[in-house]
Structure formats: C-alpha cells, structure tokens
A and B are shown apart, each in its own frame.
Chain A
C-alpha cells in the first residue's frame, strides 16, 4: 500500500449530532460507564473484509458521558502486520456533554493483505485507543515462500515409515468412567518410531450390536492434555487424541511446555511434529479398524495446534470426509518473524544454544511442516475459522493457507476475536456435520 498523504481530503468526515435516544442505545450496547468518553469502531464492510474497493470505511461512534463538552482529535494509524507504517491521519472532533457523535473515516485501500489499524481519541479529559485489523482482497493473498519440491515425497516416505510400524491397537473399557450415557475406552497404539500414543474414545450406549457411529476425532492444542469427552450427542463417537509428548502420551517425549515446539527441530526427519502428525494418521487407522465406528463418516477438528494438525492431516489423509480447523498455527512460517512472538522467539532461543545452527536452517526444515504447504493437497471438505486479532495465527498467514486449498472450503472470520472462534462457528459446524452425515 502506498503511503498515504495526510490530508483532510482523504479523510472524509461526516458528522452528525446524535440524539439522546441514540446516545441511550449506544450506552446500552457498549456498556459505557458513566463519566467517561467511550467510542466504537465499526467497519463498513462485513467482517472488516474489503473487496474490490479503493477505500476502507469505518464508522466511529463517540459517546461523551462527561458533564463537559469535549474537544480534541480522532486519529487513525494503519500498519502492516509487521508494524510497518502505512498511513496516519486525524481530524478535529467535538462532542457535547452527555451526547454522542458519529464520524465516518474513509481511508485508501492498498494491496491485498491484512492491516492493523488503531483509532485514537484525544480530547480534553480523556484518551483512548481501539485496535482492529481489516483485510483488503484477502482472496488474492499468496505466500511469497514456496513449497519444497520434495515436500510430497517427504511425507509419502514418512507415511510409508509409519505403515511399517505394527499399530497393535489396544482398546480398554474404563467401566468406572462411563458417564452421560457414554462408554469410555482407553485407546493405545504404536505410532512412528514405535512410540506408544493414547486416546480416549467415548461411544453412546446403544442396544444395537450392528450400529456404526460416525466419528469425531478431536486433535489437541499445544500441550493441552485431552480427557474423555462426555458430549451429549447420541449419534457420534468421540475420539480425543493425545499426540506424543502431550497428555497421557508422554512416555518417551516429556519436554517442558516451552521445549516441545523445538524438540529436534534441527532435523526434519526427527522433528517432533513429524511424529505428531503421524500420530493423527494412526488415529484414523484405528478408526478404520473398528466395526462400531463408521470409517466413511469421520470428522476431524482442532483449534490452534489442533487446527494445524487438522490441516496437515487433511493434506495427507484422504479417508476423512470433513475437517474443521480453528485458528491453525504454523502457517506461512517464514513470514511469522516480526509478526508473532511465539514460536519465533522460542526458535531463536533454541538457535542461540545450539552452535552451528541458524534460524534459516530451521526455516528450511520448517518448510516441510508449514500448514500452507499441506493445504494444496486437501481434497475433502474443510471449514476454517480465524480471528482477525489473533496474535498466534495472524490472518494474513491464515489466508495463505486458506487460499492454497483447491476447493470445497469455507472460512468464517471473527473480526473482534483473537485466538478463538465465535459461537456462530460452533453452530455452523454442528449443523454442517450433522447434515453432511445425514444425522437429521
């Protein structure tokens, strides 16, 4: 985006004095405290995504609950996700006591991407700032970092290596843990490097001896131990997987929370995520062996690292019908430097204590674990959820992943959320899953 000229011509301002009725509504909706200046910033386009436009519009509603008239200025400042300055401008504002006013900001749009924008109000008796993110033609966002030529071969070899490990599936009913009309099973299996990994399977109680349940496979977040799920859905079996190094699968790999992400990161053939991703494939192997589970109706979901594992699994395994990845991390990994602190700082700290190792060398390895590189091979249906304020999975990098998925995809954007998705996502996912599996 070219640097904007700071001029009032580019800052189209529409001011109208709001009625007390409007003030009342805004006070109600924003929960503004008495004796304060509050304001909201509302994008002029749904989810703060602006397409095929040359301007970015925001409505700024200012509420003055003070007993004095307030004069000052409203400023916006736009930067890239890396903090590179793009544009800034301001205008004078004046809000009467116990009144409100609306200002419409019109800012030039730049090249496709996501941008941070800060709205700052400085008046006689108060200062306040709102930070938001907006997107410009995100469907056109592409990573500048390429996929390794032998990426697919690397993972074909890895899967072949996994296939040579006898899975030795063990399924133990935990009768003392049955609850909420679900039976609970501890699942154990051998995965890559012959490590034992474990999962919790809960199956709705049924009188039918032939019933096959659709399966929900839940993949874990970073260092999040998963327990059995007692969700009340009577139609779905739930398998929660604890990948190596997490939950009850820490027999061999039992790092500190910080060290897990860098475990053997200097060697792509030994990096912990190589085994972790294969653990997900093995869990699907397990599902496909069970007569009470419907291998044609598998749904895989995860958030954060679980979202990353969901994308990786979707790229590598064609047996799953539906995937749902919420805030997947580790996408466009080379582009994360200067944008996020984690895991970049941990990787740099790891480099410092390993002589001869460089950040670039690690990035060469991480190309094989980049979510966006798995995305090109996805051919199942996938739902992706992102938060525009996400400090771990920034929207620009999420879109490099999303735009790499060839087809049958949907993204849900939450403009005011960080590393999470909203209830709309949960609701949509529920109905999508049940409709797709004909669980009407």
Chain B
C-alpha cells in the first residue's frame, strides 16, 4: 500500500542528509538508497540575512554521494546508517580550493512509537555522528548526537493517495564551539496514478544552528556553525517495481542567514531487499 511512501527519502542538498520516513520498516528488510547530489552557490546571505554575491564573484560547487541504509530489526526497531562522500570546490577567479572525502557518518536506532488508527505514525530516532576525516575542510570534525521525532501519515485525496512526513531533530556536536542544531523537514507527496507508480512531492526543510563560533566561511560552508536556512524542494518518484524506485529532486534555498544561497539537484535510488 505504501509502496512508494515507505521509501520516500528526501535528500537535503548540501547536508547529505537522508530523511527517513516515520513509517516503520519490515523486520528483516534492508532499505538501501544510494544518492548523488549536485550543489551550486555563488551568493550568500550575510549575518543579517542580506543576500549578496560571493566575494570576487566566487562560486561553490559540491558533488555529494551518499549511501543511506535502514534495516528492520523488529516490528518496533530499525537500524539506520548514512555514509556520505563529497567533492567540494570553491573558485574565485583563477584560484580553487578543492576538498574531498568521507564526511560525517550517521548511525542510529529508530523506534516505532505509536500510530493513530494505522493512518498516522510516530517514530523517534537516536543517531550518533562520527566524523570520518580529521581536517576541518569537510566538516566540524566533531562527534555528535541527534534526537529526532518523526510524524507521518497517508490517506486518500482527490481520488489519489497522499502521504506526509514531518521530522524534527535536535543535533549537538561535542567539540569546541560545537553547534547545537535544530533540523526540520516537512514533505507532502501524492501519487499520480492508481498503481502507485509515480508520485510528486514537495518539501520544506532547513536548519537553525547556534554556536559561539559565528564566522561565515565562504570557501567551505560545511564548517559554518552559526547559520540558518530554509530549503524548498520538488521531487518526482517513479517505482519501477515493488522494490526499486528512483527519485529526482530539485531544491532551492529560499531564506537564510550566514549561509550560501544554494541550488541543488539530486537523484536517489531506493532498493528494498528481503524481509519476506
């Protein structure tokens, strides 16, 4: 029934973050989702939210590749993991600042908390953040932890099936000046046909990050600690089979502070293996 819904994963462009649905995963089933994202920015919002070009007409590009996995341990529990790899480059005139490598790995445990009439589902998730690099060119290089509350539901609307998913997460990095982040994302999707083959979804998500380290690093936005943004995205999903789907997503940062004005495009593939 939730053919596409349970595998709906929104890739938030630059953060390489896979937002899993609040819907449970069948015990014994492995959900695998490799994705690739291209991110581009040549403007920034300053600390007061004023938009302007990067200094010296600089531009930042990033290609990120990630593998998201979720495994159903039992009816209530599933294990989640995210392994991201990025290739970044900031250019200003003839000068380039490239960096690449594995970034923050996430490993966590999701618990199917409750449902309302088997229509609305609630889940909580605890996640550990482990940096797979040592230099700060790819991120904070700090251990972290996240707690997330997810709420999802599905139903019928205008003779089509819809779903929604809302995630709210608090993440703390445990280093000097390690930021405290509030991460949120809301997605609404609707099927385009009665066979659940095609779906369209819109998302609105973002971060609100606070830290006593307030400087904005234009060369590598990954390392910024005091910023906020809101990103809108549109996604099309197609299910080639019950166990294989592809999602194409375009995203645009629509508001921000102390961060770049990002535009992104991504492709995510979702496999469902086992659990029978």
Contacts and interface: CB of A to CB of B under 8 A. Distances in A.
Interface string B7-45: 000000000000000011111010000000000000000
Interface in A411-431: 428, 430-431
A128 B117 CA distance: 38
A440 B72 contact: yes
A435 B118 contact: yes
Interface in A177-194: none
Interface residues of A, number: 14
A141 B36 CA distance: 62
A431 B1 CA distance: 9
Nearest to A431: B118
Contact of A440 (B6, B117, B276): B6
B1 A430 contact: yes
Interface in A386-440: 428, 430-432, 434-435, 438-440
A317 to B, nearest CB: 23
Contacts of A431: 1, 117-119
Contacts of A434: 1, 118
Given A208-B276, A234-B242, A235-B276, A440 B118 contact: no
B2 interface: yes
A439 B118 contact: no
B115 interface: yes
Contacts of B1: 430-431, 434
A204 B269 CA distance: 27
A206 interface: yes
Q: Chain B: interface secondary structure?
A: loop
Contact of B27 (A208, A235, A428, A438): A438
B160 interface: no
Nearest to B78: A440
Contacts of B276: 206, 208, 211, 235
Q: Chain A: interface secondary structure?
A: loop
Contacts of B75: 438
A438 B24 contact: yes
A208 B274 CA distance: 10
Contacts of B242: 234
Nearest to A206: B276
B118 A432 contact: yes
Given A208-B276, A234-B242, A439 B26 contact: yes
A426 B70 CA distance: 30
Interface string B110-138: 00000101110000000000000000000
Q: Which of A235, A430, A439 has the most CB of B within 10 A?
A: A439
Nearest to A432: B118
B115 A440 contact: no
Nearest to A208: B276
Q: Which of B1, B27, B72 has the most CB of A within 10 A?
A: B1
Q: Which of A234, A430, A432, A440 has the most CB of B within 10 A?
A: A440
Nearest to A207: B276
Nearest to A211: B276
A326 B27 CA distance: 30
A206 B242 CA distance: 14
A235 B243 CA distance: 14
A209 to B, nearest CB: 12
Contacts of A438: 24, 26-27, 72, 74-75
B206 to A, nearest CB: 29
Given A206-B276, A211-B276, A440-B6, A428 B23 contact: no
21 contacts: A211-B276, A234-B242, A235-B276, A428-B117, A428-B118, A430-B1, A431-B117, A431-B118, A431-B119, A434-B118, A435-B115, A435-B118, A438-B24, A438-B26, A438-B75, A439-B26, A440-B23, A440-B24, A440-B25, A440-B29, A440-B72
Ordered nearest first, which 7 A-B pairs have the shortest CB separation? A431-B118, A438-B75, A440-B26, A440-B24, A435-B118, A438-B27, A211-B276
Given A431-B118, A439-B26, A440-B25, 13 more contacts: A208-B276, A428-B117, A431-B1, A431-B117, A431-B119, A432-B118, A434-B1, A435-B115, A438-B24, A438-B72, A440-B26, A440-B29, A440-B72
Interface of A: 206, 208, 211, 234-235, 428, 430-432, 434-435, 438-440
